[in-house]
Every structure is written in C-alpha cells, then in structure tokens.
C-alpha cells in the first residue's frame, strides 16, 4: 500500500484536498485514490471532510453542473434519464472469482471478465470533470454497528444526496485509520443536456446518456462497487443498495444481519414503546408504515441487526429517506405531506413534474385534475403524450422520489436515531403485495416459522421501483432477494441461526395492504394499517389472544373493532372482517406450489454447483412447506377452499 499519492494523481488535488487526504494517515485510502484517479482521469479531485463549507460547495456544484435545478427555498429538482428511472437489475451483477457460486436466484458474472468490461468503460470517463471523494459511516458512528465507507463520484447530485442520506465520517476515518472500509466508485458517464423553456425561463438539465453502457458491478472480493452511465440513486449511491450487498457478505462472516427493513417505534397503551422492524419490497407500504401518524420513525429502508446479550438490536444504516412520492397526500400522510411543502427543509425532488410557477406536482398528491403541462422526466410534458418507448407519460414517474434528512421530520425518534446501542427489536414485519392470497396481518407460529413462512416465502407483485414490468408475482425472500451477496440457503440459515442465538426472540408478522374483492375493489383503506400495527404491538406485549389458522395467528374481530374505533373512529363491520381475514386456502396452496418449485430448483442447482453444505437450502424450509401443505389440505377437506375466521375460532 502507498503512503503517497502518485504525482499524476497529486497534481489534481488543491492544497486543501491534499491536506485532507494526508491528515487521514490511511494508506488504504491513498492506494484507492491512486488506483481509480489514474483510470478515471478527472481534471480535479475534491476531497470533502463533511464540513458545512464542503457540503455547501457540493450543493452549489449540483446546480452549476445542471444536475439539479433550484426551486423556491431549500428545494431542488433532479431528473434521471427516461430509461434510468429505477434500479436496473439487468445491468447489476456480482463479480465472482472462479469457483465461487451464489446460486441461480442471484445475477453474477466472472470477476475478471466483469472488471475488464466496467474498467474499460470507466477509463478516462471523468476527463474534463471534477470528482468528489466523500467519507461516510453506515450505522451510528463509534458504535459496534458502524461500517466505514468511501464514495468516489463525478455526480454532484449523487454527492449531494449522500450528504442528506448518510452520516459523515471524516472524523471516524481519522480515529480508525486501520479499519476496513467499503469502496464505491461511480461515474455518470457522458451526459445529455435537455434545454427546455418553462414560463419564459430557460432551463437545462443533464442526464446520463449512454444507457447501453450502464453497469453496476459488485466486486465482493475487494468490497468495491463500480457503477457507470447511470444517475438513479438506487444504482449510484454506493451507500444505499450497493452497500447492502457488501453488508450482507460482511455480516455473514461476523454474525450480524443487513436487512431491507424500516425501524420504528410503535406505541402501546400508557406510552409503552415497542420497536418494530419491517421488510417490504419497494412500493408495498414500507415507508408509509414507518411514517404512520402517531408513531415514530427511526429508519425507512435498511437496518443492521445484531445480537447483544441474547437480544436483537437494530439501527438505521442511513440517516435520510429516499422515498417514493407518488400518492403522498394530505389525508393519509399528514406529517410527510406538510414537510414536503416546507421550503425551509432541504429536499431533493426527483422525476416529478415542474409547473410554470416553479412548484412541483406528483401523481396522487391531491384530488384536483392533474396538470396538463410542465416539464418532467420525459422533457416537455403535455397531457396524453407518449414517451420515446411509446408508453403513456404521466405528470410524474411512478418511482419519482424525495430525498430528505429524517431528523427534519417531526415524527422522527430523535433520541433513537443515532443511539449507539440500537433499538431492542420486539417484532419483525414482512410485508408483501398481493390482491387475492394473504390476509392483512398474521403472526407466525414461532420465530422459525416466521423466518421461513412469513419471510423466506414472501411473494409479492413487482413494482415500478425496478426497471421492467410491474404486477408480476415474484418470490422475494425477506424482500431482500435483489441484494443477496450470499447464496439464498445460506442467507435463510443466517437468519435462523441469528434467531437461535437469541434468548428473547422478536415476534414475526406478515402484512398485506393490497387485498381486493372479486370486483377489483380494495378491501382496505390505506389508513387501516395503523390498526394492524397496534394489534401486533398488543400481541408482542402478550395482551390479546389470536385465532389459529393453518398459516398463522390472526386477530379476533372484537380486538380489531375496538382498535378501528379507537384509532380511526371507524365502525368495523363483521362483514369486512370476514372478507379480509378469510383464509384463502386454494390461493395459499397455489402459492406453496410456486414456492416448492422455486426452492427445489434452487436447492438442486446449488447442490450440483457447490460442495459447501452451508449454501444448501436448509431442510426446515422443505419441512415447513410440507407442514403447510398438510395443514392447508386438511383445512380444505374440512371447511372448503375459503375459510371464514369464525370457523376456526
Ligand atoms: C427500493 O427500491 O427498495 C428503494 C429505492 O428503497 S432504491 O434506492 O432504488 O433501492
Ligand atoms: Mn428499499
């Protein structure tokens, strides 16, 4: 490792940046810079120590570079390329050395081949540009959860987003010069400029151009992620979904978990606080659950979970929210809606509509007719227009987002946000999206059943959060399948082993906010989910009974009726209860059949390609599959293919 920057690199740093690098006394950082600066060939290198001054510089750069547009107050707006509106799974690959396998559920490629490809694309990609070097810590600084990270990016929008979303760590790097760190290298590649007129004003914004050269490659061996020719945050912000993958691998060696989970406070009677974590695929209600009015939020997307003294503790890996904006409205999302209009709070909007008066609009923000003109991710927007691929263009993209610091929210749990101990976890929730199979909430029989049946068997419809077709049922274990860097069987086993090591185990729940009747009408209102949550809290505290069904434990009508009245002032009819909580045996059996094929295929593949038993699908997965088939089969023989909850009480 080098203790000096190569002269060809050193000349790109001004005195202040040089001082920031050398003050760290960290040879690994110097080597990392040497390796990538020569390759990327930027004109200048800006090293940030996370100070207000450096952050302000980056904010200004985002505007000067036309990656963001200034809106009134502290709001800005960013657009991604029309074809860069979500995580691009097709362009995302784990790079594996020969002989290493992750299974067929995970996209991989040969490491040498992948590196040659992406490094070829990155060669000279930053010519004529400035690059930003930033230091962050995932999880609270100085805690046992803390993972250090360095981001190199030529996108000032990515750098700006990270300032909002992640904890600064220049000081931590100084304190721990020998600690390993995750490395993220990103170039937005060649840019395309949209020049647009809006209300007599000239506006220009720049987006990544060469979509066919988009790459998101994860080198597990070097704990390095290389991303090119994209700006969309889920593909570029190393600390977000890219660091999740590195976290899962590191945790698999060290005995902790990286989960696609929110962390929140749920209040019980007399001010009792129970901490819940929840894993839902994107667009299945995860952020809105963590933001339920009256509860408190600690994190909305990613959690590290550790065993301390036989108890599970969770922290938010991040400090901000990169949240879906579609449908956020004054009635269902009171706190957030208000905040999104607060000009004194720093917010980056992305892929929403900009109106002539410089205000932003997103689909579903209110009941008034949507605007018919403005600019958006497709350029100049006119109602009824089609995009370059022939698809309907709505005012804002379905995956349009806002970026905000959680501490700006009045419902943030300020005391727990940076708590180094983490929040003691009372319950996990696994949330999926289906219209016809799962009940609104159900508790597992025990922890193991929860990990397998509620977690590993999670099936959900795909959404617009990833590039591709929405509405297809996919199996998404723990809603973490997109981010697994260890074989699926090993990941399930990690979760089971983690639970086995706990003296007090979290309760495990499964929720589904998206049930419909035969006519396609929603069976629940969005605000109903507070009732499911309150019921889960009471169960976790041992205060209410439940009804045992073949697939888990469901609420009793009286408890829900009381909670609906208390929380929402609503009369909850027995008829609604019966419709929502009937066990759809036939649908569940169909789901099990799909799961059986999925897990058998995976197990067969991994056994054929790996000698390592720890990568096989754990036997308990097949045992619970068989148990559930039997339980559901027996119930069907006795009660028919749809069973009203009263028949089981
Ligand atoms: C998700 O899609 O799960 C998100 C947004 O949280 S992204 O950053 O794109 O991953
Ligand atoms: Mn997510």
2-23: per-residue pLDDT in tens?
899 999 999 999 999 999 999 9
Instruction: Say what the pLDDT of residue 2 is.
Output: 85
463-514: per-residue pLDDT in tens?
666 666 667 889 999 999 999 999 999 999 999 999 999 999 999 999 999 9
Q: Do residues 402 and 349 make contact, with C-beta atoms less than 8 angstroms apart?
A: yes
Instruction: Say what the pLDDT of residue 470 is.
Output: 62
Asked about 250 being catalytic, the answer comes back as: no
241 Cβ below 6 A of ligand 1: yes
Domains of the chain: 2-68+83-254 (3.40.449.10), 266-312+418-647 (3.90.228.20), 323-407 (2.170.8.10)
Which residue puts its alpha carbon closest to atom 8 of ligand 1?
A: 234
240 Cβ below 6 A of ligand 1: yes
Q: Which bin fits 30, alpha (ψ -120 to 50), beta or left (φ > 0)?
A: alpha
Q: What is the mean pLDDT of the chain?
A: 96
87 Cβ below 6 A of ligand 1: yes
In whole angstroms, what is the distance from residue 581 CA to residue 488 CA? 31
149-172: per-residue pLDDT in tens?
999 999 999 999 999 999 999 999
Q: Please identify which residue in the block is written with the tokens 């994107």.
A: 282
Q: For residue 379, name the pLDDT band (cuts at 50, 70, 90).
A: very high
Strand pairing partners for 312? 307
Which residue puts its alpha carbon closest to atom 7 of ligand 1?
A: 234
389-403: per-residue pLDDT in tens?
999 999 999 999 999
**Helix, strand or coil for residue 137?**
strand
| CA of residue 516 to ligand 2 center, whole Å | 25
| CA of residue 182 to ligand 1 center, whole Å | 19
Counting runs of H as helices and runs of E as strands, what totals does the chain give? Answer: 19, 35
Q: Which candidate, 244, 224, 281, 261, places its Cα nearest to that of 483? A: 244
**Helix, strand or coil for residue 610?**
coil
In whole angstroms, what is the distance from residue 639 CA to residue 601 CA? 32
Backbone angles phi and psi of 498, in degrees to 5: -60, -45
295 Cβ below 6 A of ligand 1: no
Q: Please identify which residue in the block is written with the tokens 């009381």.
A: 562
118-124: long-range contacts at Cβ-Cβ below 8 A with a sequence spacing of 24 or more?
A: 118/215, 118/217, 118/226, 118/228, 119/39, 119/226, 121/189, 121/213, 121/215, 121/228, 121/229, 122/39, 122/40, 122/185, 122/187, 122/226, 122/228, 123/39, 123/40, 123/41, 124/39, 124/40, 124/41
In whole angstroms, what is the distance from residue 433 CA to residue 436 CA? 9
In whole angstroms, what is the distance from residue 521 CA to residue 385 CA? 28
In whole angstroms, what is the distance from residue 427 CA to residue 537 CA? 8
206-246: per-residue pLDDT in tens?
999 999 999 999 999 999 999 999 999 999 999 999 999 99
Among 105, 284, 290, 496, which one carries the catalytic annotation? 284
In whole angstroms, what is the distance from residue 87 CA to residue 481 CA? 13
284-295: per-residue pLDDT in tens?
999 999 999 999
In whole angstroms, what is the distance from residue 535 CA to residue 544 CA? 8
What is the bridge-based pairing of β-strands 360-361 and 353-354?
A: antiparallel
In whole angstroms, what is the distance from residue 98 CA to residue 327 CA? 46
Instruction: Say what the pLDDT of residue 473 is.
Output: 87
The 8-class DSSP code of residue 632 comes to H
Query: pTM score, two decimals?
Result: 0.96
**Looking at 209-302, which runs of residues are DSSP E strands?**
215-219, 224-228, 257-259, 261-267, 273-279, 296-299
Percent of the chain residues past pLDDT 90, beyond the cut: 95
Torsion, Cα of 420, 426, 430, 431 (10° steps): -90
Distance in angstroms between the alpha carbons of the first and the last residue of the chain: 67
Instruction: Say what the pLDDT of residue 465 is.
Output: 62
| CA of residue 235 to ligand 1 center, whole Å | 9
């Amino acid at each position: 490792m080098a203790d000096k920057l190569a002269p060809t690199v050193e000349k790109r740093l001004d005195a202040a940046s040089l001082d920031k690098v050398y003050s760290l006394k960290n040879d690994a950082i110097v080597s990392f810079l040497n390796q990538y600066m020569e390759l990327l060939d930027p004109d200048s290198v800006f090293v940030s120590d996370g100070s207000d001054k450096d952050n302000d510089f980056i904010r200004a750069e985002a505007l000067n570079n036309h990656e963001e547009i200034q809106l009134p107050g502290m709001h800005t707006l960013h657009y991604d390329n029309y074809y860069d509106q979500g995580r691009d799974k097709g362009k995302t690959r784990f790079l594996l050395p020969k002989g290493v396998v992750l299974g067929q559920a995970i996209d991989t490629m040969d490491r040498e081949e992948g590196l040659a490809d992406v490094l070829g694309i990155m060669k000279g990609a930053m010519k004529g540009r400035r690059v930003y070097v930033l230091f962050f810590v995932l999880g609270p600084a100085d805690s046992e959860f803390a993972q250090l990270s360095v981001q190199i990016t030529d996108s000032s929008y990515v750098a700006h987003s990270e300032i909002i979303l992640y904890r600064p760590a220049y000081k931590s790097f100084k304190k721990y010069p020998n600690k390993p760190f995750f490395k993220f290298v990103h170039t937005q590649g060649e840019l395309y400029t949209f020049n647009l007129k809006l209300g007599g004003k000239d506006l220009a914004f720049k987006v990544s151009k060469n979509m066919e050269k988009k790459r998101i490659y994860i080198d597990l061996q070097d704990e390095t992620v290389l991303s090119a020719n994209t700006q969309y945050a889920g593909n570029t912000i190393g600390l977000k979904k890219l660091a999740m993958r590195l976290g899962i691998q590191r945790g698999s060696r060290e005995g902790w978990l990286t989960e696609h989970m929110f962390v929140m406070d749920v209040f019980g009677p007399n001010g009792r606080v129970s901490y819940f974590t929840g894993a839902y695929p994107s667009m299945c209600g995860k952020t809105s659950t963590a933001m339920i009015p009256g509860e408190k939020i600690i994190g909305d997307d990613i959690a590290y979970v550790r065993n301390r003294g036989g108890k599970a503790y969770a922290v938010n890996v991040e400090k901000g929210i990169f949240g879906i904006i579609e449908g956020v409205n004054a009635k269902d999302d009171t706190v957030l809606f208000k905040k999104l209009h607060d000009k004194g709070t720093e917010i980056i909007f992305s892929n929403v509509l900009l109106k002539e008066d410089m205000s932003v609009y997103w689909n579903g923000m209110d009941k008034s007719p949507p605007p018919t003109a403005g600019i958006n991710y497709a350029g100049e927007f006119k109602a009824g227009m089609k995009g370059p691929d022939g698809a309907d263009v709505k005012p804002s993209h379905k995956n349009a987002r806002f970026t905000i610091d959680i501490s700006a929210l009045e419902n943030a749990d300020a005391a727990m946000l940076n708590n180094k101990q983490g929040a003691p976890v009372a319950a996990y929730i696994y949330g999926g999206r289906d219209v016809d199979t799962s009940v609104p909430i159900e508790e597992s029989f025990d922890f193991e059943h929860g990990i397998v049946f509620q977690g590993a068997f999670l099936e959900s419809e795909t959404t617009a959060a990833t590039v591709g077709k929405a509405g297809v049922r996919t199996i998404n274990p723990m809603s973490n399948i997109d981010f697994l860097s260890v074989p699926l069987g090993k990941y399930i086993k990690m979760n089971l082993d983690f639970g086995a090591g706990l003296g007090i185990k979290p309760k495990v729940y499964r929720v589904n906010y998206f049930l419909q009747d035969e006519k396609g009408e929603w069976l629940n209102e969005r605000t109903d989910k507070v009732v499911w949550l309150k019921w889960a809290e009471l169960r976790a505290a041992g205060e209410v009974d439940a009804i045992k069904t073949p697939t888990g434990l469901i609420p009793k009508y009286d408890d829900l009726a009381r909670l609906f009245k208390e929380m929402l002032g609503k009369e909850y009819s027995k008829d609604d209860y019966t419709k929502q909580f009937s066990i759809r045996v036939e649908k569940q059996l169909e789901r099990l059949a799909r799961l059986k094929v999925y897990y058998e295929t995976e197990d067969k593949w991994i056994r054929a390609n790996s000698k390592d038993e720890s990568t096989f699908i754990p036997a308990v997965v097949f045992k619970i599959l068989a148990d559930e088939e039997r339980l559901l089969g027996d119930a069907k023989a006795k009660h028919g293919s749809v069973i009203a909850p009263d028949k089981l009480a």
